[in-house]
Amino acid sequence: FFINAHNEYDSSNYFFWRVEQTYKFNANYRIRFIYDGKMNRFQSPDSLFTCYKSDHIPSIYLYNTEKLEHSTIKDYPLHYVNTESKALSIRYSVLVNQYSISKETYKYWNDLSSLNDEQGDLYSRLPFQVRGNVFNTEDKNEPVLGCFLVAGKSTKRIFIDRPHYLDYYYSDSCNLYGPDAELLWIHRNEWPLFLPAFPGTGGASPAWVDYQWCVNCTKSDGKLEKPDFWVE
């Protein structure tokens, strides 16, 4: 994702972005059976099939236009989404919060970003202390991590349907097996177990699946309720 920005009403040349993502995804299989000591038909195969998942992106996105004639940003690379998860599998939404910040606040977040980027680098500088504008009133020499932020804010949300021209490589560890009675008993602490049906049996034959998230999208930290802001 790329961003364009223009600071028309604020003299600040420093930008800071926070990003949130939400996406719609499906479990690998629909539930056809439920096992709680005996095998029964599951009456609502779609009830745990589709979920929505939201995440705050932890990356720090900064830019300054101090050396530019105009406070304008064009096609700045902001957030990358790969095809190794189900994020783009159906529908994806990204919310961008843009802040116009002071030079001091920019320096704080830029130092923090540099420190994070250099962790584990063999040739990185020695770790340095990042100081913000928060301090202990009883001991001003005590290091305190934090920066109190007062900034102009603007937001924008967009939605994207699955890009069909991409190849997807998200892990599929959802193999199907015959529902061995001993295996079902070993997992009795997890009862009730949800099971799909073997393909090609018309839904008549239950199958054991490696993980419950293969049939229950809430096991992948998904939420069944559609977010209030969601637009199909």
pLDDT of res. 135 = 61
**Residues 148-190: tens digit of each pLDDT:** 666 678 999 999 999 888 787 776 788 888 877 777 887 888 8
Cα separation, 227 vs 67, in Å, equals: 41
Check: CB of residue 84 under 8 Å from CB of residue 170: yes
How many whole angstroms separate alpha carbon 199 and alpha carbon 215?
Answer: 14
In a domain, 136, yes or no: no
- Tell me the whole-structure pTM to 2 decimals: 0.83
pLDDT of 7: 67
Model pLDDT for residues 29-41, shown as the tens digit of each residue: 999 999 999 999 9
Contacts of 162 (CB under 8 A, 6+ apart): 88, 89, 90, 91, 92
Q: What is the mean pLDDT of the chain?
A: 84
Instruction: Give the number of other CB atoms < 10 A from CB of residue 3.
Output: 19
Q: Indicate whether 31 belongs to any domain.
A: yes
> How crowded is the C-beta side of 1, counted as CA atoms within 13 Å?
22
pLDDT of residue 168: 78
Quick check: is 120 in a domain? no
Does residue 32 lie within any of the structural domains? Answer: yes
Weakest-pLDDT range from 79-88, 198-207, 223-232? 198-207
pLDDT tens by residue, 112-148: 888 766 554 434 444 445 565 566 666 667 666 666 6
Looking at residue 68, its amino acid is L
- Residue 123's pLDDT is what? 41
For 101, the 3-state DSSP assignment is strand
- Structural domain contains residue 212: yes
Question: Does residue 137 fall inside a structural domain?
Answer: no
What is the domain extent for residue 60? 2-102+151-220
> Which residues, in sequence order, are CB contacts of 164 under 8 Å at separation 6+?
none
What is the number of structural domains in the chain? 1
Question: Does residue 110 lie in a domain region?
Answer: no
- Phi, psi for residue 76 in degrees, rounded to 5: -80, 125
Residues in a beta bridge with 213: none
Cβ pair 23, 159 in contact under 8 A: no
**Which tens digits make up the pLDDT trace of 105-121?**
888 888 888 876 655 44
Q: Per-residue DSSP letters for 147-180?
A: -----EEEEEEEEEE--TTS---------EE---
* 176 assigned to some structural domain: yes
CB 23 within 8 A of CB 50: no
